[in-house]
Structure 1
Amino acid sequence: MVDVAGRVAVVTGGRRGLGAALVDELLARGARKVYATGRTAFADARREVVTAELEVRSAESIAALAARAADAELVFNNAGVLRPAALLTGDIDSATETFDVNVFGPLRVARAFAPILAGHGGGALINMHSVLSWLAGSGAYGASKAAAWSVTNSLRLELAAQHTQVVGVHAGFIDTDMVAAIRRPKATPAAIAARIIDGLESGATEVLADEVTHTVKAALSGPVEHLTFSAAG
């Protein structure tokens, strides 16, 4: 269980969408400082926010962030890409990049920040997954999020000895630019960010951030052929 008040946090992909909402929610709950990253430079006028460029595919970029954010106590792995091309017919380079960003990116961040979190008593690592982690039909994106879910579950075991709370977050569609073209009901970034922080502060290891995610998680014990997704609804 980790209280946000007075803490220093890192939010990857913190420039917009859910990442920006997480920055807002952390500050609203009393975070002392938040490092917010983007793939390109950006500005934030709030004195508690430190902006930084980050490319999660680059170990060097992540190492530079870790050196700068050596006071971090909470790390939110939020940066990701959505490219749901078919596995058989989609561009293989795009699929490779999807896995590099969505799976190996958070792992690189976790490896870089684990010693820093240990030095501050353990802290917390929060990884963003998706309801599509459990549903077939979204190509490389869903496959990458399924892999990321597995990575998070194993990291939870590996980081237990240093008392780091590892939280996996699953959510359906959030009203951000990433899914603007998908015609489905969407939660607001602010609502999802609040539920994530609620889970963190309550000591949760997994946050199911909306009703559709609860429904799909409950269906995992049923026939696998029922676990499918169609963007058309």
Structure 2
Amino acid sequence: MTTPNTAPGPHPSPSAGPGLRLDGAVALVTGANRGLGRLFARQLLERGASRVYATARRPESVDLPGAVPLKLDVTDPGQAEAAAEAAGDVTLVVNNAGVSHWTDLVTGDLEAVRAEMETNFWGTLNVVRAFAPALAANGGGAVLNVLSAQSWFAYPGTNGYHASKAAQWALTNAVRMELAQQHTLVTALHLGAVDTDFSAAYTGPKGDPAQAVRAGLDGVAAGAAEVLADDWSTHVKKSLSEDPTRLYDEIRTGIV
């Protein structure tokens, strides 16, 4: 889980190129039946998206008026390809689906660690690979990957999640370069803990999920390569150029 946090943010990176106009966009959001995913779908509709595909393993659980429910288990490449065929008009893909099983790497349940990697890394890659041709056909469009401040730091009890998010960050940087030739913007959204059911087991400070979603969509509209949604994410990112002892001392102080 992500730790200390939270607002005021956001801190977008310099523009990576032209942004995507959200008014009139056709968007697809993974994991859109609750939490951040539902907020992404709702805010996209509020910003004038012409269609929002709200995907979930159980599409009947999508209850957002105006959204188009679509079945998608991101860990299944076949379902990702079927969703891309059904949503061939898409211009924005929001990779929001993610899991955390509260696992450590040395003593934790390896099946839980694998499940985190399967969703957070492989699931994101399945969706990107499936939708890249449709995005190219529709002028390039954009991909927004919902990452985490924990892409950059370990935390006791959630290191399976940390490893999967670090891998997802590397994936995001890689596909940004690979999809540049087809004019697809790839934006990374990093955030600390926010107040959704995903973070229910975390008892530390939590930010406003609606603000984090707003920051991510603003970043896509501005053409940003990376958005840091809060001060904690900004602080952690800056610490990568320093001796890591300082950051981990801060983390230990906060949890001991």
TM-score (normalizing by structure 2): 0.87
Q: Tell me the equivalent position of 1:41.
A: 59
Is the 8 Å Cα contact of residues 136 and 227 (structure 1) preserved in structure 2?
no
Single out whichever of 178-187 and 87-96 deviates more from structure 2.
178-187
Residues of 2 paired with 1:39 and 1:226: CA distance? 41
Is the 8 Å Cα contact of residues 42 and 64 (structure 2) preserved in structure 1?
no
Deviation at 1:226, TM superposition (A): 3.5
AA at the equivalent of 1:156: R
Residues of 2 paired with 1:128 and 1:45: CA distance? 20
Deviation at 1:163, TM superposition (A): 0.3
Q: 2:217 aligns with which of 190, 197, 200?
A: 197
How many pairs does the alignment contain? 232
Q: Does 1:2 align with 2:25?
A: no
Deviation at 1:224, TM superposition (A): 2.3
Say which SS state the counterpart of residue 159 (structure 1) adopts: helix
Is the 8 Å Cα contact of residues 30 and 54 (structure 2) preserved in structure 1?
yes
AA at the equivalent of 1:150: A
Q: Tell me the equivalent position of 1:107.
A: 125
Q: 2:185 aligns with which of 165, 179, 194?
A: 165
Equivalences for 1:83-162 in 2 at 5 Å? 83-137=101-155, 138-162=158-182
AA at the equivalent of 2:203: R
Q: Does 1:77 align with 2:100?
A: no
Residues of 2 paired with 1:72 and 1:150: CA distance? 24
**Ranges in structure 1 where 5+ consecutive residues have no aligned partner:** none
CA change 1:136–1:226 in 2 (3 A) is farther
Q: Does 1:60 align with 2:71?
A: no
Identity of counterpart residues, as a percentage? 44
AA at the equivalent of 2:72: L
AA at the equivalent of 2:79: S
CA change 1:45–1:206 in 2 (3 A) is closer
Q: Tell me the equivalent position of 2:46.
A: 28
Q: 1:208 aligns with which of 218, 224, 228?
A: 228
Is the 8 Å Cα contact of residues 38 and 64 (structure 2) preserved in structure 1?
no
Q: Tell me the equivalent position of 1:177.
A: 197
AA at the equivalent of 2:127: V
Residues of 2 paired with 1:210 and 1:160: CA distance? 27
Alignment RMSD, CA only? Answer: 1.4
Residues of 1 paired with 2:116 and 2:63: CA distance? 28
Deviation at 1:72, TM superposition (A): 0.4
Residues of 2 paired with 1:28 and 1:122: CA distance? 23
Residues of 2 paired with 1:135 and 1:45: CA distance? 34
Q: Tell me the equivalent position of 2:13.
A: none
Deviation at 1:75, TM superposition (A): 0.1
Residues of 1 paired with 2:56 and 2:135: CA distance? 22
AA at the equivalent of 1:152: T
Residues of 2 paired with 1:189 and 1:86: CA distance? 26
Residues of 2 paired with 1:189 and 1:24: CA distance? 12
TM-score (normalizing by structure 1): 0.95
**Ranges in structure 2 where 5+ consecutive residues have no aligned partner:** 1-18
Is the 8 Å Cα contact of residues 134 and 227 (structure 1) preserved in structure 2?
no
Q: Which has the higher contact order (CA 8 A, sep 6+)?
A: 2
Is the 8 Å Cα contact of residues 190 and 233 (structure 2) preserved in structure 1?
yes
Deviation at 1:83, TM superposition (A): 1.7
AA at the equivalent of 2:131: F
Residues of 2 paired with 1:224 and 1:232: CA distance? 17
Residues of 1 paired with 2:246 and 2:176: CA distance? 29
Deviation at 1:186, TM superposition (A): 1.1
